[in-house]
Structure 1
Amino acid sequence: MSPTTTFALIRHGQTDWNAQQRIQGATDIPLNDTGRGQATDAVTALSGYDWDFLVSSPLSRAAETADLIAAGLELAVTRRIPGLVERDYGPAEGLRAGDELEALRFPGGFHGAESEADVAGRGIDSLELLAREHPGARIIIVTHGTLIRLALARALDREVGSIDNAALTLVRHHADGWRLDVLNGELLHPRETAVVRAKTPE
């Protein structure tokens, strides 16, 4: 029986652009004080499990969130993984809802932005690489909301809603596929728990 690798997927804490409802994407915006508090609070939810190490996106809001969680759990952040950066929204970054943003929108995305399929693909690739390199490990991954949402939707073949700042999402990977146990800090009812067989690569 192949080992199961467990991932805690944590969106970074709040930034000023989050609070202002601006599209952030690949722009490197730091945590604000609320975000630092959220990162510290995430330690409580994570302390109910045993973890081996953390990895994060290299963007500063994710890296600092990971460092704060690591300090609280007395663990190491071992890698900053480029494949875990947030979706690049191109010219839409920094914009809020309004005419300027709507002018960039088309069905399924924004002009000049990275496609959802590409984001989901590199997110899944990053998770599967970690599972191959560390079979059976329990890994905390601090990354970004859109990347988590799109990667989970691809892995589970289901719609996934928005991901809250610093909330715990728990997913398990094994040879037969993926299992989602906790989403946005909420333990899923057994009937809602998603188990999907691994797909043959296209």
Structure 2
Amino acid sequence: MHSPRPTIYFIRHGETDWNLEGRLQGQKDIPLNKLGRVQAEEAGRRLRSVCPHYEDLAYVASPMRRTRDTMEILRGTIGLPPQGYGVDERLIEITFGAWEGMTWKEVRRAEPQLAALRERDKWNYVPPGGGESYAMLVDRIRPVLDDLTRDTVIVAHGGVARAFLSLCCGISSRQAASMDIWQGRVLVLQDRKHRWV
């Protein structure tokens, strides 16, 4: 009999100008924009509404500026010390390699064959120039899950959320690769199920 995994309250970082322009950010350290900061506050309010014991949770963020700023704004919004959280390098976003900074439209124009290959199998496709596939990302994220000892707020990225959905909820790789990951909301991963708050 498996003991239940801790509940994860997953929050994607707020919007950046690159999100707005549809650019592939990956591991480029792009800051939040004005809307992104508002979304971080909103995520804090939603967390407080869904989890009354929010001050007892563990808090961990990806090391990128957009995730740390989201975490600090969120914590400040709910009355916790902004800096009181851990950083885990393994939560950094999937890298798109040579495609970072481009929009999908630009990728399809510049490298139509490679873009078509990725469309065929988003989960396993490795972008050129040192990119990462979702399958590789899952291998990077799995130990993070194994290390969790209590209910935890994780502030990270869209790609990382898709890896968590696959690992925690058994969502098929094809479905997980294309799921929308909302900003300003909380994705609750609990008992092999997921819900948005």
TM-score (norm 1): 0.78
CA distance in 1, matches of 2:113, 2:32: 29
Structure 1 residue aligned with 2:21: 20
Work out whether residues 170 and 192 of structure 2, in 8 Å CA contact, stay in contact via their aligned partners in 1: no
Structure 2 residue aligned with 1:139: 152
Query: More deviation in 62-71 or 159-168?
Result: 159-168
Please state how far the C-alpha of 1:123 moved relative to its aligned partner: 1.9
Structure with more helix by fraction = 2
CA distance in 2, matches of 1:155, 1:101: 34
Structure 2 residue aligned with 1:82: 89
Q: Percent identity of the aligned residues?
A: 30
CA distance in 2, matches of 1:181, 1:92: 30
Instruction: For structure 2, list consecutive stretches of 5 or more residues without a partner in the other structure.
Output: none
Runs (4+) of structure 1 exceeding 4 A deviation are: none
Report the number of matched residues. 174
1:69 pairs, out of 71, 74, 77, with 74
- 1:111 equivalenced with 2:124 (yes/no): no
Q: Highest relative contact order (Cα 8 Å, sep 6+), 1 or 2? A: 2
Residue by residue, what CA displacement relative to the aligned partner does 1:77-115 show, whole Å, maximum 9, x if unpaired?
321100000001110100011312546433333223112
CA distance in 1, matches of 2:79, 2:146: 25
Structure 2 residue aligned with 1:91: 98
Write the mapping of 1:1-202 to structure 2, written as runs, cut at 5 A: 2=3, 4-48=5-49, 49=51, 50-51=53-54, 52-75=57-80, 77-96=84-103, 97-98=105-106, 99-100=109-110, 102=112, 104-105=114-115, 106-107=117-118, 108=121, 109=125, 110-112=127-129, 113-130=131-148, 134=149, 137-158=150-171, 159-160=175-176, 161-172=179-190, 178-183=191-196, 185=197
Instruction: For structure 1, list consecutive stretches of 5 or more residues without a partner in the other structure.
Output: 173-177, 186-202
CA RMSD after TM alignment: 1.9
Work out whether residues 54 and 70 of structure 1, in 8 Å CA contact, stay in contact via their aligned partners in 2: no
CA distance in 2, matches of 1:66, 1:101: 36
